[in-house]
Amino acid sequence: LLLDRSDAVELPIKFIPLYAGCYHCQILLKSSCDVRVYEIECVVNTDHAEAELEFLTPAYQAVIQDIPISNMSSQNWKLEAVLEGEGFYGPPLINVGLGETALYPLMFKPIAEC
């Protein structure tokens, strides 16, 4: 079934999310001879954020910085951590429940003065 563009009707929707997350919506359209339900899912990401941490510790001594990760979405998160650079350690996966803040323990343990 192909619809002619003259059969199309625009339905403008304005969406202003407060937080990052997955938002679900149902739109119900009714006429005297038809009923239609459209399900819409909008995924909102935060802007790319950069942060800088400075670690100061004697060689061979570890320092740990707990990095807070807040999940303000409507679903649980399972995040994978990819660490680059020598001397940095942390768990490869972290779970953050919806509405929760989890702490990611980033460890720096230098093997030499650097």
Express each pLDDT in 32-81 by its tens digit.
999 999 898 887 877 666 777 787 888 888 999 999 988 877 788 899 99
Asked whether the whole model's pTM tops 0.85, one would answer no
Q: Are 67 and 94 in contact (CB under 8 A)?
A: no
Tell me if 21 is assigned to some domain: no
In b/e form, how buried is each residue of 72-88, taking b as 16+ CB within 10 angstroms? Answer: ebeeeeeeeeeeeeebe
pLDDT at 22: 82
Task: Measure the CA–CA gap between 71 and 96, rounded to whole angstroms.
Answer: 6
Sequence-distant (≥ 6) Cβ neighbours of residue 100 within 8 angstroms: 70, 71
* Owner of token pair 């563009």: 5
Say whether pLDDT at 112 is over 70.
yes
User: How many structural domains comprise the chain?
Assistant: 1
Tell me if 32 is assigned to some domain: no
Nearest-CA neighbor of 92 among 75, 103, 110, 79? 79
Q: What is the average pLDDT value for the chain, to the nearest integer? A: 84
Tell me if 1 is assigned to some domain: no
pLDDT at 5: 63
Domain limits for position 71: 63-108
Tell me if 39 is assigned to some domain: no
Tell me if 46 is assigned to some domain: no
